[in-house]
Chain A
């Protein structure tokens, strides 16, 4: 077993709150370049790592110094998976808005907002806990049933 990467759980919570605000602004304005930027943010968190993810950097530089340090640590794997789910929705949303299929952009962004808000407000990681359901629904998961 490789030693799991561990993070301060308040960092992802902060990132989810920032994400929520960004996605509300995207929905309100329909300004898709902002959604494209959020898609890149998700991609960094999911595929590069949580440390270089922009909101994590912001958390460490601005927020963490103002908080009590905590011993609490959370494993990074679920968080990166959640970023990947967010990335998928944001990517679809960006494509929708940019290609003029605004309804697709709105729906995909709303789904990402739903998950981000649940994470920020309730600390509930939808993508992580519903992983089995996602897997069951995804067409690739046809493992001999």
Chain B
């Protein structure tokens, strides 16, 4: 199976008088995973529905493998869609749910049986045959999730679209399914667009991370790039934790973005003479497993530092005045 490339060109879309997507352009190469990250109401689900053909854009174009599909109905796009509420057919058993896309394609009975079994196995339901005649309403949340996934891949679509598919599951199952999504994409070469509001899910999956806000894409790129070089303070704070420090002596409003793990805390009073440093008071110290979080207060507000656990001996106490330092290359300057 080969995935198709996805391209959105200045797409505007909405419902009634409300414009939800305000000029979105995005391109995803074949076989890659794009994770769309943004707060609720930012338009990320609508973006997915536009790719699927469930929402027709008011203007702009949608291209799959370079072909303009803007006005093509969903059934002609060769896509798989995993809905947030799963949308399993309650009157069909597991087999018929997974077989649906194959039946409407007129696939032969033996082939349907083979593909259903394959899809359930790929989705991690083992042994697949045990699930054939089960009612979907009798399955656990994780199993329903897997059936929804199997149903969307059984006919080997070129594009798999997932709308917050893990939001109702607990952490353990989520982590397992995330690994399986990755494996799926690797083994099937399918192009995936994954909508989430969870940045850890996004990091786990994404080749390209897309940050959305108010119906527009604010930044798109590899997660490491978005993390280390956010285009503005919104992206810096939305994707990962960030300290935003105003830069002095500039005519425009500029800020230094410093990740908490890049800050260093020194108890040495002489350390304050460094250029990239200031004095702050320790407000809170929280043990977080691999790291210790230190909340500090300084003249421009609060700031957060993460100290590796192995340096725990050198930790300050609450109320203590310390010097906070960073390397100049760890401060990323943004405007606004």
**A and B from one assembly?**
no
Give the A-binding residues of B (Cβ under 8 A): none
